[in-house]
Amino acid sequence: MKVTVTVNGSPVAAEVADRTLLVHFLREQAGLTATNVGCDTTSCGACTVLLDGQSVKSCTVLAAQADGCEVTTVEGLAGSDGEMHPMQQAFRAEHGLQCGFCTPGMVMAAVSLLKENPHPTEEQVRSGLEGNICRCTGYHNIVRAVLAAANSEETR
Ligand code: FES
Ligand code: FES
């Protein structure tokens, strides 16, 4: 079947099998490989993207379900001038950037978390990121980064 998905503002159209997962569509058809497959059983969060503004685990969504929708991946967060998104800046400043495997999904989940709750407590950040696993258990700086991003957006 043919699907067309607007990915980071640009339409991507491709013939896919009915069972093609959105994460594979993003990696293979759109050529955006920052969205990772860690488990493909909805456990790790490495594949987190925004689908029509809501965070989803893209290993749990069929490409066909995203037909006609807008998807944002971590590659689409920076501004057109290359300026990093406030969440990316906060991850860098607070040393929340860890391995390339978990980080893109963490950042996308964090962006979604602040959209839903712009002023979370530390506890709310920890529970909001529960679906994103870092195998190194290095969550502390990630939580600090999300709280810093919330504060930086407060001052905008
Ligand atoms: S690859 Fe999607 S949750 Fe792990
Ligand atoms: S830093 Fe990526 S899995 Fe731990």
| Tens digits of residue pLDDT in 35-68 | 999 998 999 999 999 999 999 999 999 999 999 9
Tell me what pLDDT residue 12 has: 98
Q: Which ligand is nearest to the CA of 44?
A: 1
The amino acid sitting at 23 is V
This model's pTM is above 0.85: yes
Pocket test for ligand 2, best of 44, 134, 140 (most atoms within 8 A of CB): 134
Q: Which residues of the chain are modeled with pLDDT < 70?
A: 153-156
Tell me, in angstroms, the distance from the centre of ligand 2 to residue 98's CA.
6
What is the SS3 assignment for 16? coil
Q: What domains can you pick out in the chain, each with its CATH number?
A: 2-76 (3.10.20.30), 86-155 (1.10.150.120)
Whether residue 95 has its Cβ less than 6 Å from ligand 2: no
CA angle 84, 13, 49 (to 5 degrees): 35
What is the Cα Rg of the chain in Å?
Answer: 15
Q: Which of 86, 56, 90 is nearest to 71 (CA)?
A: 56
Tell me what pLDDT residue 156 has: 44
Q: Which residue has the tokens 């490409």?
A: 63
Whether residue 44 has its Cβ less than 6 Å from ligand 2: no
Residue 23 · residue 39 · CB < 8 Å:
no
Tell me what pLDDT residue 28 has: 97
DSSP label at 66?
G
DSSP label at 62?
B
DSSP label at 84?
P
